[in-house]
Every structure is written in structure tokens, then in C-alpha cells.
Amino acid sequence: MSKFLSKCWKLIKRIFWILFIGQFVYIIMLRWVDPPVTLTQLGSLLRGDGLKRDYIDLEKISPYAGLAVIASEDQLFPGHNGFDWKSIQKAMEKNQNRKRIAGASTISQQVAKNVFLWQGRTWFRKGLETYFTFMIELVWGKKRILEVYLNVAETGKGIFGIEAASQHYFNKPASKLTKTQAAMIAASLPNPARYTVKPLSKYVNARYPWVLEQMNNLEAAPDIQQVLPGPEKVAPAPGKGK
């Protein structure tokens, strides 16, 4: 019996090391290679919602798209280490008397979840999300994280990424998105299957002007400019950056 248990333990350790090394190599590969189909995208297919996506390089994305998602989802993105600790602390305080876990996810955490994991709010998944967030911050860097986010984020029912969203909603490539159009897409991100861009839902209609205002406030910041996509950076609004 002891020999059998010893063999089982050796097998478990071997499998663990294979999986650990494999996921580490995979993280490094994704520094340059586009992610294959994600679990969220696969779920969309299985539900019958379809799958529209078209991965594109950061240089082919309007800088307004990057600015919009930062303004809407994670204004501290250029400077944090993957986690917004103040927001996490507030969420934990709210979760003390809740069965469901309230989120406080940064763009980096959302990328870790969307690329490597599944949707859900369990502590186990959040633990894995913490690990993958740390790793992509360490290996990828901010511009790659933003590039992957803009390519894999769900932007509508069965629609993933900024290029597919731009083509679907505005019949143009993501490189040609205007500030307002980018703000509309970003405003839908909390629940893009429900908060639709076209037809324009009440939520998006009410939220996108706020996103535009935040974009105007942030666009002149040097740390924001450094991570934005596109061959040219956005021009600060009049009166900004002086």
C-alpha cells in the first residue's frame, strides 16, 4: 500500500510540475502571440450567441479606444501593479455580509480572467486571477495588457474585441473610431450583452457622456499617453495640458 501511495504522490508531483511549467511557457508565448479561443468565447458559442472577433495589433486601434476603456474601467491602470488596493478593500468590506462577491477588477485582472480563466465570483477563481494578474504584469507590460484587453473583451452578445465591435456597430475599422464612438463601446463593458450600443440602451446613453468627460480629464496625462494604442496619440482637449 505504501508503494502504491508513493507512486501516486510521484505522479501527482510530476503532473503538477508539467502543468506549472506549461502555463508559465504559455504566459510567455502570449506576450507576442494572440490568445486562442477563450472559455468565455467558447461559452458564447455553446449558448448559440455566436463568436465574432478579429484580433488586431495595438497600432491599428484608435487611441480613443484605449483612452475610453481606461477612463471607464480603470483610471489608475498606467501606475498600479495590477491591483487597485483601495477599491479591493472597499469591495471586501461590502462582501462581509454578502453571499455574492462584489468586484473591484482592474483592466489587468479582467485580462487575466478573460484569457486564462472562466467567468464567476468564487474565491477560488479570484485566487487564480490574482496569480495570473501578477504574472502578466511581470511578463507582458502595460501596453501588451491593454492590447489583449481591447482584443478579447466582450463588447456585445457574441462580439469580442474592439475591431469586431467597431465593424458591427459603426461599419468601420477600430483605427477610425471617434471619441464618442469609443466612449459608447466602453460604456457598455459592465454588461455588453444587456447594455447595448445599437440599439442604444438607456444605460449606455446615460453613461457614455460621463466616459467622455473622464476621457477629456485624462487624455493629457503623460502616463496615459504612454500606454495608448495607435500610431498617433490623442490631442488634449482645449485648455488641457497647459
What does pTM read for this prediction? 0.86
Residues 6+ apart with CB under 8 A from 80: 106, 108
- Based on DSSP, count helices (H) and strands (E) in the chain, helices before strands: 11, 3
pLDDT for residue 241 is more than 50: no
The arithmetic mean of pLDDT across residues 19-28, rounded, is 90
53-227: CATH topology is Penicillin binding protein transpeptidase fold (1.10.3810)
**Three-state SS annotation for 88-122:** HHHHHHHHCCCCCCCCCCCHHHHHHHHHHCCCCCC
Q: What is the pLDDT of residue 5?
A: 73
Q: What is the pLDDT of residue 231?
A: 58
| pLDDT tens per residue, range 31-73 | 999 998 899 999 998 898 989 999 999 999 999 999 999 999 9
Alpha carbon distance 36, 123 (integer Å): 26
| pLDDT tens per residue, range 70-99 | 999 999 999 998 887 776 666 555 555 555
Q: What is the pLDDT of residue 238?
A: 53
30-39, 90-99, 117-126, 212-221: least confidently modelled range: 90-99
C-alpha cell at 86: 483601495
Alpha carbon distance 28, 35 (integer Å): 11
Q: What is the pLDDT of residue 229?
A: 78
pLDDT for residue 1 is more than 80: no
Q: What is the pLDDT of residue 77?
A: 95
Q: What mean pLDDT value characterizes the chain?
A: 87
Alpha carbon distance 45, 38 (integer Å): 11
pLDDT for residue 192 is more than 50: yes
Do the Cβ atoms of 140 and 30 come closer than 8 Å? yes
> Could you give the 3-state DSSP secondary structure of residue 155?
strand
pLDDT category at 233 given cuts 50, 70, 90 is: low
